[in-house]
Structure 1
Amino acid sequence: FIQINLEAGLPILAVSGNHDSATRLATGAPWFKQRNFHLHTTLEEALVPIEFPEVQFFLLPYFEPIAARLYFEDDSIKTIGQAMLRVVQAMEEKFDPTKKHVLVSHFFVAGSLRTESETTVEVGGLDAVTSDTFTAFDYVALGHLHSKNAIKEGKVRYSGSLLKYSLSEMNDEKGVWLLDSQTMEPEFIALTPLQDIKHYEASFAELTDPVIYQSLDREAFWHFEITDRAVIPNMMNQLRAIYPYVLTVERKNGHDVVRQVTKKRAKTLAPIVVLQDFFKEMTGESLTPTQSEWLETGLTFALDTEKRED
């Protein structure tokens, strides 16, 4: 942002999304605008286009149907689809017929494909907007979904996230769309992250073998599939000592074996010992004296309550 906006003096156009606090982002809006950084967080702002010689940009932030109902003073607006139609109609009234018209927004378009890292924001499908809602625009640049291929509706496109935020995005190509303001034809520019998400299947012994791990990118975000069947104490902490950014570890085999061994052992131990073992297995550390005291007090209370109820 500093290089693009402050140093190069290029404008930045942005909207608030469903994960953002629109009120908080709006705090610096007047200051941002003076620096040619246009951050729109309200419906009122969205209806005022950002003017360029060849293009009008309409910046529509994420909003709930009630926001449109209150803004237009129209109680008939119940769904996001109805709200969007009304908003687009109001935008069309501001169209300059001599210019192209681009909408920048943050919504889920019906028929788009999700990834695991996106929050489901609809209730009963209320957030789904049909792509034909945007027919009046020459191009629609959308946020919210993390894949650039989430929808292929010609002039309606998702930029996708710049980075990968879940394993389902591991093989996705990330980057940005470069839009020609004359032809309205987008070109995708791929970006390579400093740290990528990678997958590797091996035994625990192999993953901790210097011959193996020295051949791997230890700074990557790793998803490991462990082939071992035996219980491996403090496994995650041991792996993180070698691969500091390991994300997940799954067992290719042995889920039931580990579960049965743990369950059988738990039956022979006192409840407090089971919990102490569990804490150590999860954190790699033993309970402190204070934590042990809290645990013992809680267990005593729970057992006494159970006896009284019996």
Structure 2
Amino acid sequence: MRILHTADWHIGKKLHGYDLIDDQRHIVDQIIEIARTEKVTAIVIAGDLYDRSVPAVEAVKLLNEKIAEINLTHKLPLLAISGNHDSPIRLETGKQWFTGTQFHLATSIADSLQPVTISDTQFFLLPYFEPIEARLFFDEPITTIAQGMLRVIDEMKRQFDQTKKQILVTHFFAAGSSQTDSEIKIQVGGLDSVPLDAFEPFDRVLLGHLHSKHALKHPQIKYSGSPLKYSLSEWQDEKGVYVIDTVADTCDFTPLKPKRDIYSIEASFAELTDPAFYTTLDRSAFWHFSLTDRAVIPNMMNQLRKIYPTILAVERINGREQEQKERLTLKDNDPQTLIQQFFREMTGDQLMDTQQRWIDQGLSEVLTTEKRVDQ
């Protein structure tokens, strides 16, 4: 059989405050098209379908729409698990009816112990869990996820059909892998890491949780990575999905093309605002700029956003000495001068008389309050 492996959709996530719903719809449509083109037998989503336990209405609508398109319109079996960002209780609503259309959704340890058999393969769907869940389920002194994982896998092995292949779908930090900024740092002292040798009983392990396909280099254990770049640290990553053939024993990566990519460039403010320069760029993309300028640039962000609407960050690569001098100068100024200077640098304009009166009134009230406290 042929399997499409994806994970970490994080439907509803924002990037530096920018809404990504349309970007996510665009990328899931690509995933569906790849599944149809590659004639896969099933699609696996290895956790974090949503970005938060209580997703926004728009996020719920989008996920429902795409799940229905995959499973009902195109009749593709779908195997999914809850991740650390999902609420198992909310996600599992209605799952009693899902299996009738071969939508297999696992949200608990108990779910994982009943394999889903499709063609020549048994799938074991193990959602993210905390140690306390394993401790209560098995009524044993389990204190780490690694201990819980080993105990769960021992139970899974009892269900192995030796005439078939076994694939584990789960959502954890496998020991030896690396992270990017868009995954919340939830491990404490290695609490959530799972040793790779725990996965040895399985023919393949399809992972979610880390957002880069390079997070772990192992022939049989794979992170698909997230389908979109969810942090600036991922701007050079190639996003995509894996297509696995269980008969040929192959695992091929297929890239995805985002609606809006992330780019980072080094340039001067004059270059960035020069039409001859910026008309060669994709200004609808997300941008990170490293400015070479040392001088203060009045109203800099507003000027840049008129040209590049979705700026993630701007940093100066040569401005530390200048910034230090400015900080030293600021210390010597009175509040009135500081406010006037700040307003001028941010807007390029002088305070109006009305604004100045508001500031005078506010400062007067603050000083009066301070005197009362001192007395």
What letter corresponds to residue 89 of structure 1 in structure 2?
A: D
Match status 1:48 vs 2:131: no
TM-score by length of 1: 0.88
Are the aligned partners of 2:296 and 2:345 in contact in 1 as well (CA < 8 Å)?
Answer: no
SS at match of 1:150: coil
Q: CA deviation at 1:170?
A: 1.8
SS at match of 1:199: strand
Are the aligned partners of 1:101 and 1:137 in contact in 2 as well (CA < 8 Å)?
Answer: yes
Aligned twin of 1:112: 177
Kindly report which structure 2 residues correspond to 1:117-156, keeping only aligned pairs within 5 A, or say none.
117-156=182-221
Q: CA deviation at 1:262?
A: 4.4
SS at match of 1:247: strand
Aligned twin of 2:374: 307
Q: Deviations over 1:143-192 (max 9, x none)?
A: 11111111112211100111112232222111101011223321111112
SS at match of 1:225: strand
Match among 272, 278, 287 for residue 222 of structure 1: 287
Q: Bigger shift: 222-231 or 177-186?
A: 177-186
What letter corresponds to residue 5 of structure 1 in structure 2?
A: N
What letter corresponds to residue 22 of structure 1 in structure 2?
A: P
Match among 81, 91, 96 for residue 15 of structure 1: 81
Match status 1:96 vs 2:188: no
Change in CA separation of 1:307 and 1:15 when aligned onto 2, cut-off 3 Å: same
What letter corresponds to residue 374 of structure 2 in structure 1?
A: K
Change in CA separation of 1:93 and 1:278 when aligned onto 2, cut-off 3 Å: farther
Q: Deviations over 1:37-79 (max 9, x none)?
A: 22211111111111212111111111111100000011x2111
Residue segments in structure 1 that go unaligned for 5+ positions in a row: none
- Percent of pairs identical after alignment? 52
Match among 237, 252, 257 for residue 172 of structure 1: 237
Kindly report which structure 2 residues correspond to 1:8-87, keeping only aligned pairs within 5 A, or say none.
8-74=74-140, 76-87=141-152
What letter corresponds to residue 170 of structure 2 in structure 1?
A: S
Partner Cα distance (2:153, 2:331) in 1: 62
Q: Structure 1 segments of 4 or more deviating over 3 A?
A: 31-35, 272-286, 291-308
RMSD between aligned residues: 2.9
Match among 203, 206, 219 for residue 271 of structure 2: 206
Are the aligned partners of 2:126 and 2:169 in contact in 1 as well (CA < 8 Å)?
Answer: yes
TM-score by length of 2: 0.74
Are the aligned partners of 1:138 and 1:184 in contact in 2 as well (CA < 8 Å)?
Answer: no
Are the aligned partners of 1:68 and 1:83 in contact in 2 as well (CA < 8 Å)?
Answer: yes
Are the aligned partners of 2:120 and 2:164 in contact in 1 as well (CA < 8 Å)?
Answer: yes
SS at match of 1:17: coil
Partner Cα distance (2:142, 2:273) in 1: 59
Partner Cα distance (1:236, 1:9) in 2: 48
Partner Cα distance (2:321, 2:310) in 1: 27
Match status 1:235 vs 2:327: no
SS at match of 1:91: helix
Change in CA separation of 1:199 and 1:302 when aligned onto 2, cut-off 3 Å: farther
Partner Cα distance (2:269, 2:359) in 1: 32
Q: CA deviation at 1:284?
A: 9.7
Residue segments in structure 2 that go unaligned for 5+ positions in a row: 1-65
